[in-house]
Amino acid sequence: MRPHPYMGRLLLGALLAAAGCTKPASGPTPPVVAADAGPELTVDLSDPWFANLTEADQAVLERALAGHPRWAVMEEARPTAKRFAVRLEPGPKDEIVGEGEEVREVLIPGGYRGGSNGFYSDFDSKTVVQRRVLLGMGREYGFGREPGLTRAKAGQGTVPIQLFDSGRGQPGESSYLVVQGAHGWTLEIFEQSHVQRREFTEKALVEVMAELKAALAAREEILAKGYNGKLLGEARLRKGPALLRVDPGMQPGMFVLVGGANPGEPGRTFARVVFVGPDPKIGPSKVPPDLKPGDVLSEDRVTPSSTRWIGWGPEADTLFPYQAGMTVYEGDWEHFYRARFELWFQPEKGGPARKLAEATETISGWQR
């Protein structure tokens, strides 16, 4: 497998993926820094529309988010799971990236690339170091650390943002804004920055609220087709049969699945990794012991980390993007074997799961 040409070093996200977590570790409670009441540390939540969402509005937004390349709709790993959507950031816009042996087709043209649960990092930045934007779709997703969080209801007016120490030797100060809407919906924005002004938070708040309003304005087309062309912006939905590609993650044993499908109905899309056997070019001596063909690998980790609610529609050849990171733990960096990565779909209405696409690669397991 060639190196992934556009995977960034999302340090926090990689640690979460390696640990199989769905949230940042809670850790010690950080000290709370008093917020300045000045305008640079406030957000305007005067517009109450987010607090007045109807059930019909929610259905439109759920469909729009699932079908848009900028959002990845996931599900919490808890008994009474609620869905949440993480906002992705722009990736390569060209059809082809890389040079020579590293040439790779961009499977989501003009689309977006995600880190673990939406975290993006740039530790060389003089301003924003880390950031994340997500929507809780029925329940607050949260940050795992209660002190210092700013919770406010849509329509509340001007709200001061609290700052807290980023902790664990992390640079700058952090904030976590939770805008509470109707029926448990929340807009949640994390910002870790060297400067006090929450420019990223302010910008993301305005942009996401505008995106959601635009989706509601295009409700008829979204409910009919699963997407609205104007709302896609520079992103495009591919045409053709379902596809899947396995890209390497930050370390051996970590992988990023990228592809597209159209299941034709709502439901969960998830991955399975199946042991195939030795790589003929390497031989059986490099196969981890106790593995036999057909064994499903790291199922308890792969299934929750790869589950997505992707878009769907009546145009069977219109593909809605799928991408997810995962870790395979069987073996170590010294053992190589062939594994088949399968993309499966479980209908929301019930019934048997069905396979959408597959890809076979020579891989090794992750080791601590």
pLDDT of residue 347: 97
Contact 357, 242 (CB under 8 A): yes
- Cα separation, 256 vs 104, whole angstroms: 14
Residue 173, H or E segment:
strand 173-180
Q: What is the pLDDT of residue 368?
A: 81
CA atoms of 134 and 116, how far apart (whole Å): 12
To the question of domain 243-363 being in CATH 1.10.760, the answer is no
Separation between Cα atoms, residue 189 and residue 179, nearest integer Å = 9
Gyration radius of the chain's alpha carbons? 21
| 342 beta partners | 272, 358
To which residue do tokens 């690669």 refer? 361
Asked if residue 121 lies in contact with residue 11, where contact means CB atoms within 8 angstroms, the answer is: yes
Task: Say what the pLDDT of residue 84 is.
Answer: 95
Is residue 300 a contact partner of residue 277, using CB atoms and an 8 Å limit? Answer: no
The token pair that represents 81 in the structure block: 């799971």
Distance CA(258)–CA(245), nearest Å, equals 5
Q: pLDDT by residue (tens digit) across 306-359? A: 999 999 999 999 999 999 999 999 999 999 999 999 999 999 999 999 999 999
Confidence at residue 15, expressed as pLDDT on a 0 to 100 scale: 32
- Give the CA dihedral 240, 244, 247, 249, nearest 10 degrees: 130
- Contact 288/335 with Cβ under 8 angstroms? yes
DSSP alpha helices (H): ranges in the chain? 11-19, 55-67, 199-217, 219-225, 299-306
Residue spans in the chain of domains classed CATH 2.60.40: 243-363
Per DSSP bridges, beta strands 320-327 and 254-261 are antiparallel
d(CA 73, CA 76): 10
Query: In this structure, how many other beta carbons lie within 10 angstroms of the beta carbon of residue 167?
Result: 13
Does the pTM of the predicted model rise above 0.95? no
Taking 50 as the pLDDT cut, the residues of the chain under it are: 1-39
Looking at residue 40, what is its pLDDT? 61
**Alpha carbon distance 304, 22 (integer Å):** 9
How far is C-alpha 169 from the chain's CA centre? 26
